[in-house]
């Protein structure tokens, strides 16, 4: 095993360093586009992964070695037929706004032209019914042409440019049939006008563009509302910082220029520009971005603050401890992006369906054209029916069915204080039927307090505090705080022995605090729920401590008891676990569990067919978290990247566990609804289009509506009740 790992590491070193690149591809509109990009990039030597996210228009590329560069990736994207730019949150927001404005202008031109052409068309239709003079009809056709041709040339650019790029890359996207439909309808209408014919479709071609642009504009607006949670987070960064110079001067610098050790001023109401420690001032910080807690936290000298949080009351001076790329906010963004760019099971299913679906659509369109010709239809009519099939069967709804729900769900959970780390975490969380909790730091706060100190004299309390204050061990801190009313005596030869306790001398007499073995207590098992003290040759005395149960633990367990079987696993002794679990609704409680025991317990549940959510400390319970079907961890902000869990929840309570389960369950429901709608839409639309009952105009409306319905359905996650 070690040899295999060594060989693998050697091969990776031989392949060269790993590289990553995130791109924005605004021309990616459907699952077919995603497939072309991923397949095209995979053909480059060295590419290890290329993943597209349709809902955020993102492409994540990874490769080994130095043979490829960012420029090579961008050139390959051009060859495939897609214009790509390196990901930048600020440039992305600007590009989205500019793209939306272009669509809005094109839509206005198409709408104005369609309204005026429709007036002429009504006159033509009524004139044909009342034997209008042929010269007048011909004039109306030419007037329609004079309005339609410039309107089509301008309003059709978003589709024409995209189609040309795709064709240059020897590929097809959904803008190709749309462009064909518009150009053929306009060209055939112009040909009929020149030859004095009656089959003129200027109104249809311009109206087709108008409704397609409406759908495209609404689509980009709705996707912006449901955009990446990571993208939203990046917008919360401060842009500039007020750096304090040694001579007392202040200079405005970009946050990218801040370095550890710099001193920055944070005004009241401003965002903290970088992770750091407060060195001057007192205020309150809105840290909901990090902790999920709505109540502000007090900030004083020595308090750690994080980039993106808001200083609410008074100016602060902060010493920077991490650069912009290493900040907690940047760390959360990287984890969120990794989760959003991943491939969950439902996404893989949609991709597989789209791979089969796309060629089937083109075959159906060709069959529709040939079939109608065989039944005696004109080339014009057969071509229109085939184009309607191509447009109405665009797999946009299918491609968006899953990723848009995942993006909305990840964003909502982040606002609730839950960070999604695993790409398929939501999917697995929705499948659970049992929940296993760790005790310390999960069910309890981890804040130890003195419980009993029976028989302890004032002299022994003073000695205990004087010795305990020399250590940073949690139990020592409890003693130092609990006996704070006692003076501190000067002790000699103070030593701390890891895993056992402390020793020192006072007036020639040895003082010891620690576990049972350290103070020579016979017949008593050592545990973590208290500490022993022994003065000289006197009998050892027991000081009991307890951990505080989180205030909402009982309510959370009551809620889970309706649908899930709950378990408590703890490494603490039996009596301490039983006392704390007495008023909590667990189906099973197990104490004195080592890490290996917890893994064995989870494996047993798994062998019985259970799908278990493990909720435990992300650092201490890493093996058990990995062994579970899905895992969540309460973690301090600085530890989020170190945990083995699929989800990290911030704050002091367990409520985010319930919120995450409810969100995941609702997200799965929405995904299934989206799949159902996509299949139902195609089951109805394709036969109607093949049978000739659907015009390209109606197909455009239906296709755009299907994408909007799927996106709007995903947005229902934001309307879910928060109680």
Catalytic residues: 438
Give the tokens for residue 40: 């095209």
The answer to whether residues 448 and 677 touch, using CB atoms and an 8 Å cutoff, is no
Mutual angle of helices 202-225 and 134-155, in 10-degree steps: 30
Alpha-carbon distance 579 to 556, whole Å?
19
Scanning 430-573, the segments in alpha helix (DSSP H) are 458-468, 474-482, 553-560
Helix (H/G/I), strand (E/B), else coil: 535: strand
* Helix (H/G/I), strand (E/B), else coil: 429: helix
Q: Tokens 């004299």 — which residue?
A: 457
Contact between residue 501 and residue 513 where contact means Cβ atoms under 8 Å apart: yes
d(CA 2, CA 299): 48
Q: Tell me how far apart the alpha carbons of residues 147 and 162 are, in angstroms, rounded to a whole number.
A: 24
- Dihedral of the alpha carbons of 141, 142, 148, 154, in degrees to the nearest 10: 170
Question: Hey, what are 235's tokens?
Answer: 């917008």
Instruction: Kindly list the distances between the CA atom of residue 326 and the CA atoms of 235, 257, 334, 638, 708, in Å, as whole numbers in the listed order.
Output: 17, 13, 10, 11, 38
User: Would you mind telling me the total number of residues written for the chain in this entry?
Assistant: 723
For 148-260, strand residue ranges (E) read 240-244, 250-254
Tokens of 436: 């296993």
First to last CA, the chain: 50
CA dist., res. 283 & res. 291, Å (int)? 17
CA–CA separation, 179 and 689 (whole Å)? 18
DSSP 650: -
Distance, in Å, from the CA atom of 473 to the CA atom of 501, rounded to the nearest integer, reads 9
DSSP class per residue in 619-631:
TTTHHHHHHSSEE
C-alpha pair distances (Å), 463 with each of 329, 459, 466, 487, 541: 45, 6, 5, 9, 13
Spatial contact of 547 and 448, defined as CB atoms under 8 Å apart: yes
Containing 514, the helix (H) or strand (E) segment is: strand 509-514
**Residue 635: what are its φ and ψ, rounded to 5°?**
-145, 150
For residue 480, the number of C-alpha atoms closer than 13 Å in the C-beta half-sphere is 14
Quote the tokens at residue 72: 């090579």
CB neighbours of 356 closer than 8 A, spacing ≥ 6? none
């Amino acid at each position: 095993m070690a040899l295999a790992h060594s060989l693998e590491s050697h091969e990776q070193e031989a392949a060269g360093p790993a590289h990553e690149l995130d791109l924005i591809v605004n021309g990616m509109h459907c699952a077919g586009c995603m497939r072309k990009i991923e397949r095209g990039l995979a053909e480059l030597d060295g590419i290890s992964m290329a993943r597209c996210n349709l809902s955020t228009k993102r492409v994540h590329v990874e490769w080994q070695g130095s043979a490829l560069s960012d420029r090579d990736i961008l050139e390959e994207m051009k060859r495939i037929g897609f214009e790509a730019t390196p990901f930048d949150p600020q440039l992305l927001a600007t590009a989205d706004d500019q793209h939306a404005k272009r669509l809005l202008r094109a839509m206005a031109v198409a709408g104005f032209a369609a309204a005026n052409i429709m007036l002429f068309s009504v006159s033509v239709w009524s004139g044909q019914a009342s034997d209008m003079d042929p010269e007048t009809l011909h004039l109306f056709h030419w007037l329609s042409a004079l309005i339609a041709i410039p309107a089509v040339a301008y309003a059709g650019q978003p589709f024409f440019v995209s189609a040309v790029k795709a064709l240059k890359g020897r590929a097809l996207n959904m803008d190709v049939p749309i462009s064909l439909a518009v150009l053929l309808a306009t060209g055939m209408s112009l040909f009929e006008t020149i030859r004095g014919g009656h089959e003129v479709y200027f109104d249809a071609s311009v109206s087709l563009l108008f409704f397609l642009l409406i759908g495209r504009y609404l689509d980009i607006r709705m996707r912006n509302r449901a955009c990446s949670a990571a993208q939203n987070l990046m917008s919360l960064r401060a842009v500039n910082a007020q750096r304090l110079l040694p001579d007392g001067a202040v200079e405005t610098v970009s946050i990218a220029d801040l370095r550890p050790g710099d001193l920055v001023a944070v005004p009241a109401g401003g965002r903290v520009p970088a992770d750091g420690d407060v060195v001057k001032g007192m205020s309150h910080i809105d840290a909901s971005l990090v902790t999920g807690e709505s109540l502000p936290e007090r900030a004083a000298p020595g308090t750690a603050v994080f980039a993106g949080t808001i200083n609410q009351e008074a100016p602060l001076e902060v010493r920077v401890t991490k650069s912009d790329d290493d900040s907690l906010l940047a760390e959360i963004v990287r984890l969120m992006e990794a989760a959003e760019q991943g491939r969950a099971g439902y996404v893989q299913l949609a991709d597989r369906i789209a791979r089969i679906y796309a060629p089937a659509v083109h075959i159906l369109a060709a069959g529709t054209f040939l079939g109608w010709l065989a039944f005696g239809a004109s080339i014009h009519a057969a071509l229109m029916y085939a184009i309607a099939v191509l447009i109405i069967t665009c797999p946009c709804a299918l491609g968006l069915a899953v990723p848009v729900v995942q993006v909305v769900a990840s964003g909502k959970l982040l606002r609730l204080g839950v960070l999604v780390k695993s790409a398929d975490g939501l999917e697995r969380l929705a499948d659970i039927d049992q929940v296993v909790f760790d005790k310390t730091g999960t069910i309890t706060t981890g804040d130890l307090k003195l419980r009993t100190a029976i028989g302890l004299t004032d002299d022994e309390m003073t000695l205990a505090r004087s010795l305990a204050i020399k250590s940073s061990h949690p139990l020592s801190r409890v003693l130092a705080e609990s006996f704070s009313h006692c003076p501190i005596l000067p002790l000699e030869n103070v030593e701390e022995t890891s895993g056992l306790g402390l020793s020192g001398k006072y007036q020639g007499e040895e003082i010891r605090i620690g576990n049972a073995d350290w103070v020579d207590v016979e017949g008593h098992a050592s545990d973590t729920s208290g500490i022993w003290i022994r003065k000289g040759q006197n009998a050892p005395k027991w000081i009991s401590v307890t951990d505080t149960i989180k205030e909402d633990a009982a309510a959370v367990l009551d809620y889970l008891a309706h649908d899930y079987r709950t378990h408590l696993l703890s490494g603490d002794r039996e009596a301490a676990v039983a006392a704390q679990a007495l008023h909590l609704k667990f189906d099973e409680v197990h104490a004195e569990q080592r890490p290996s025991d917890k893994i064995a317990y989870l494996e047993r549940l798994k062998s019985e067919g259970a799908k278990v959510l493990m909720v435990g400390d992300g650092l201490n319970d890493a093996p058990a978290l990995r062994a579970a079907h899905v895992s969540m961890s309460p973690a301090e902000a600085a530890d989020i990247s170190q945990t083995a869990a699929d989800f990290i929840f911030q704050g002091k309570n367990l409520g985010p566990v319930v919120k995450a389960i409810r969100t995941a369950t609702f997200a799965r429901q929405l995904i299934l609804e989206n799949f159902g709608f996509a299949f139902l839409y195609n089951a109805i639309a394709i036969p109607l289009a093949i049978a000739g009952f659907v015009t390209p105009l109606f197909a455009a409306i239906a296709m755009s509506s299907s994408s909007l319905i799927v996106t709007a359905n995903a947005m229902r996650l934001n309307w879910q009740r928060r109680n």
